[in-house]
Structure formats: C-alpha cells, structure tokens
Amino acid sequence: MSEEIKSGKEILDDFFDEITKLPDVDKNVVNIITDLYKERKLSEKNISNALLELREKIDNE
C-alpha cells in the first residue's frame, strides 16, 4: 500500500483548487467561496452575506 492517505484539509485544499477549473460554474461564486475558505471564514452566514453583496452588485450594473 504505497498510496498516501490525505488529511481532511488536504482534500478540501484540492477541492477548492480544482473547483475553479470546472466548466459551467459561476466564476464569481467560486471566487467568493474559495476566498472565504482561504481566509478561514467559510460559514453559512459569510457565504450568504457575500452572495447577497454579489447579487446587489450585479443588479446595480
């Protein structure tokens, strides 16, 4: 058994690195969620607030 077992943090880091490469995802939403994860502020409230800000910004354009 030569495969290394990844930690939860490594799995999440890989996920957030790869999610930006997926087609058919909104890049603004991905950037918001990825930034919150990197800042260690990924919570339901912070996601909701950031998405509300994005929605308001888009509506104002």
Which residue type sits at 39?
E
Is there a domain that residue 21 lies in?
Answer: yes
Is there a domain that residue 2 lies in?
Answer: no
The model's pLDDT over 22-52, given as tens digits with 9 standing for 90+, comes to 999 999 999 999 999 999 999 999 999 999 9
The confidence score (pLDDT) of residue 20 equals 87
Average pLDDT, the chain: 92
Is there a domain that residue 37 lies in?
Answer: yes
Tell me the residue range of the domain where 50 lies: 8-60
The confidence score (pLDDT) of residue 3 equals 80
The confidence score (pLDDT) of residue 61 equals 85
Sign of CA dihedral 54, 12, 41, 35: negative
Q: Report d(CA 46, CA 55) in Å as an integer.
A: 14
The two structure tokens encoding residue 2: 């030569």
In the chain, the number of structural domains is 1
